[in-house]
Amino acid sequence: MNRRDLISKGLGAAVATTALVGSANEKTDKSSMGNKFKLKYAPHFKMFRHSAGDDPIDQLKFAAERGFTAWEDNGMMRKSPELQSKIGETMQSLGMTMGVFVSYSGMKKTDFVTKTDKAFQDSLRAKMKEALETAKRVNAKWTTVVPGNVNQKLEMGYQTANCIENLKVMAEVCEKQGLVMVLEPLNWYANHPGLFLTSIPQSYQICKAVGSPSCKILNDLYHQQITEGNLIPNIDKSWSEISYFQVGDNPGRKEPTTGEINYKNIFKHLHSKGYKGIIGMEHGNSKAGKEGEEAIVKAYQECDSF
């Protein structure tokens, strides 16, 4: 082999080696960002603040880097229209889907199951029109509705009828834009004593009676484990009316794997049923700081590994 050939081959080998190293580094960088999950798990603001900082936009970007493809924010309607629009634009650029925000919560009031007069129903219409504007800015499809407390002086049949009538009024507004109200039944025993809506069967009955594509169920499995258990059978029986899920382990309301609920089996079941919607991470962190935030990611990686 002459000197020219030797130099040529040597340079070629060096280039090839450099390319391989570059390729390996590229793969390492991508893998450190996290693979996307099978399901759309949705964190919320401040869940990753120690890792991403206090800026909500940076928190969105951090979550996307770790493989999350959705987000939710109960307090979105309290944010400025300018920030709402910025959040919506950022999520769109990151390929993330917006989950629920709360538009109506009647907690500690009995109006929703007691009143059906024009003035009250006009206030409901106004609230949902405001929700539509927020939904436009953040590209949201779902909004949480909590009917409020039970009226101890009125039989449940009348309260249920009043609730249905008021939801029909709200649904008429939501249908114009395709916004879906998701009714969230909450537990009495650990968090919300006295609420009217507590179970999946009750929510199923109400949604069937309202009969609108804009009135469905938000099945928060943390609450339902406390209220009634039997999680997978109740999912199957009410499947046609469920539009959204939220999770948190019990006891403690922290990330999956910290309590008694077998979320890996539940997520596998939802995936097998073809669920394409969002699973809101409405829980706290079991550990403080960055360590706790890393534990959140690992918990969802474990439960998503079915």
Q: What is the pLDDT of residues 213-269, one digit of tens each?
A: 999 999 999 999 999 999 999 999 999 999 999 999 999 999 999 999 999 999 999
For residues 4 and 150, membership in a common domain is answered with no
Examine the domain organization and report whether 209 and 167 are in the same domain.
yes
* Both structure tokens of 98: 């917006």
Which residue, 221, 203, 205, 218, is CA-closest to 263?
221
Beta bridge partners of 220: 246
At 32 the pLDDT is 41
Separation of alpha carbons 11 and 7, rounded Å:
6
Same domain, 185 and 299: yes
Enclosing domain of residue 20: 1-32
Give pLDDT, residue 13: 43
Are both 102 and 76 inside the same structural domain?
yes
Domains contained in the chain, number: 2
**Around 144, how many Cα atoms within 13 Å sit in the side-chain half-sphere?**
28
pLDDT value at position 7? 38
**Ranges under pLDDT 70 in the chain:** 1-34
Written as six digits, the tokens of 168 are 């029909």
Q: What is the pLDDT of residue 33?
A: 52
* Whether residue 134 is found in the same domain as residue 70: yes
What pLDDT does residue 12 have? 45
List, in sequence order, every beta strand (DSSP E) within the chain: 40-42, 70-71, 97-98, 102-105, 142-146, 180-183, 215-220, 242-247, 278-281
What are the CA-CA distances from residue 74 to residues 41, 259, 296 (Å)?
15, 24, 19
Provide the greatest CA pair distance for the chain: 102
Mean pLDDT across the chain, nearest whole number?
Answer: 92
Distance CA 222, CA 231 (A): 10
Half-sphere exposure of 292 (CA within 13 A, CB side): 15
pLDDT of residue 304: 98
Same domain flag for 130 and 247 = yes
Give the pLDDT score at 3: 42
Contacting residues for 283 by C-beta, under 8 A, at least 6 apart: 222, 247, 248, 249, 253, 254, 255
Query: Both 168 and 198 in a single domain?
Result: yes
The residue type at 54: D
Same domain for 142 and 112: yes
Do residues 125 and 9 both lie within one domain? no
pLDDT tens column, 12-43: 444 343 343 333 333 333 434 568 999 999 99
My answer on whether 258 and 125 are in the same domain is: yes
Q: How far apart are the first and last CA of the chain?
A: 56
Residues 119 and 21 in one domain: no
